[in-house]
């Protein structure tokens, strides 16, 4: 055994083999088999490998009509630019309560509406939106998927497909037209009374007496006010819409027109 010196003078013992060079490798043994890498039976699909349509490509004929209908609806007045400049950031979906618990995806609705996707006209998931406007308040482009839903829902009802989602409100609409106020919710939806509990039932049972004690008078508007409400509902087409839903059996009997 010899010695070698480090740059600082420290002595380190060195064996003869080390001095001669690296130790010889161990004797060759029988070759071992190498496991083959597993092969995929099905190719992995990369969702980002599909190039989306660009704005330079014209939309298929007929689909532009849907886009125009949404853009030209008065409810979209303050959201046209936001609708056309949606960047698909997903902020609308991240804050949406309905998206958290259902299949409804606001970002997808915004994209499909901008593409003029006619399947929106038979999509039931847009009825999960209950117009909290969180999407509208958070959108960096000032788009409003809630308003887009309003327009598309109207189109669904016009075509007859969406009637199943609103027919339950026909009786409420009847009361609004006839008396100027829709009425108490539990009259139309009995389950609400049970859901709201005994305090609600007690309030309803004593409501008229409480109003009289406080000097509030009756619940319903005056006859003059009711006539004004009827004119508004007739001229805007709301009365006709109620009849199409089955209100008054399809036709109000004492109509003057």
Residue 141 is encoded by which pair of tokens?
């482009």
pTM over 0.75: no
Each residue's pLDDT tens digit in the chain (257 positions)?
A: 555 554 455 555 555 545 555 455 555 555 555 555 545 455 556 555 555 555 555 555 558 899 999 999 999 999 999 999 999 999 999 999 999 999 999 999 999 999 999 999 999 999 999 999 999 999 999 999 999 999 999 999 999 999 999 988 888 889 889 999 887 877 777 788 888 889 988 998 999 899 999 999 888 899 999 999 999 999 999 999 899 888 888 888 766 54
Which among 246, 245, 64, 250 has a CA at the least distance from the CA of 156?
A: 245
Enumerate the H helices of 131-169 as residue ranges.
134-138, 145-159, 163-166
Given a contact cutoff of 8 angstroms between Cβ atoms, the answer to whether 176 and 167 are in contact is no
Q: According to the model, what pLDDT value does residue 85 have? A: 96
pLDDT of residue 13: 54
User: What are the structure tokens assigned to 104, written together?
Assistant: 């409804």
pLDDT recorded at residue 169: 85
Q: Please report the pLDDT score of residue 91 as a whole number.
A: 96
Please identify, in words, the CATH class of the domain defined by 63-161. Answer: mainly alpha
Is 95 exposed, middle or buried (CB count within 10 Å of its CB: 0-12, 13-18, 19+)?
middle
Closest of 241, 227, 212 to residue 179, by C-alpha: 227
Domains of the chain, by residue range, sit at: 63-161, 165-250
Q: Cα dist. 83→61, 86, 147 in Å?
A: 20, 6, 10
Task: Please state, in angstroms and as integers, the Cα–Cα distance from residue 198 to each residue in 108, 187, 194, 208, following that order.
Answer: 41, 16, 8, 17
User: What is the reported pLDDT for 189?
Assistant: 75
Residue 32 confidence (pLDDT): 53
């Amino acid at each position: 055994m010899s010695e070698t010196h480090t740059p600082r003078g420290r002595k380190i013992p060195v064996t003869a083999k080390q001095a001669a060079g690296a130790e010889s490798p161990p004797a060759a043994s029988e070759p071992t088999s190498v496991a083959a890498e597993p092969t995929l039976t099905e190719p992995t699909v990369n969702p980002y490998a599909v190039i989306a349509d660009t704005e330079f490509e014209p939309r298929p004929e007929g689909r532009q009509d849907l886009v125009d209908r949404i853009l030209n609806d008065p409810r979209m007045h303050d959201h046209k630019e936001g609708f056309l400049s949606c960047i698909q950031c997903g902020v609308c979906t991240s804050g949406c309560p309905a998206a958290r618990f259902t299949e409804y995806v606001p970002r997808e609705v915004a994209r499909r509406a901008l593409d003029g996707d006619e399947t929106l006209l038979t999509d039931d998931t847009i009825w999960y939106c209950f117009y909290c406007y969180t999407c509208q308040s958070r959108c960096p482009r000032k788009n409003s998927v809630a308003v887009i839903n309003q327009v598309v829902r109207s189109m669904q009802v016009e075509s007859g497909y969406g009637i199943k989602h609103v027919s339950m409100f026909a009786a409420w609409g009847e009361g609004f037209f006839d008396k100027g106020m829709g009425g108490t919710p539990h009259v139309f939806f009995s389950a609400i009374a049970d859901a709201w509990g005994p305090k609600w039932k007690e309030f309803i049972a004593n409501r008229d007496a409480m109003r009289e004690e406080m000097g509030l008078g009756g619940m319903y508007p005056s006859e003059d006010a009711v006539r004004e409400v009827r004119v508004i509902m007739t001229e805007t087409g709301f009365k006709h819409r109620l009849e199409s839903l089955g209100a008054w059996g399809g036709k109000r009997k004492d109509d003057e027109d």
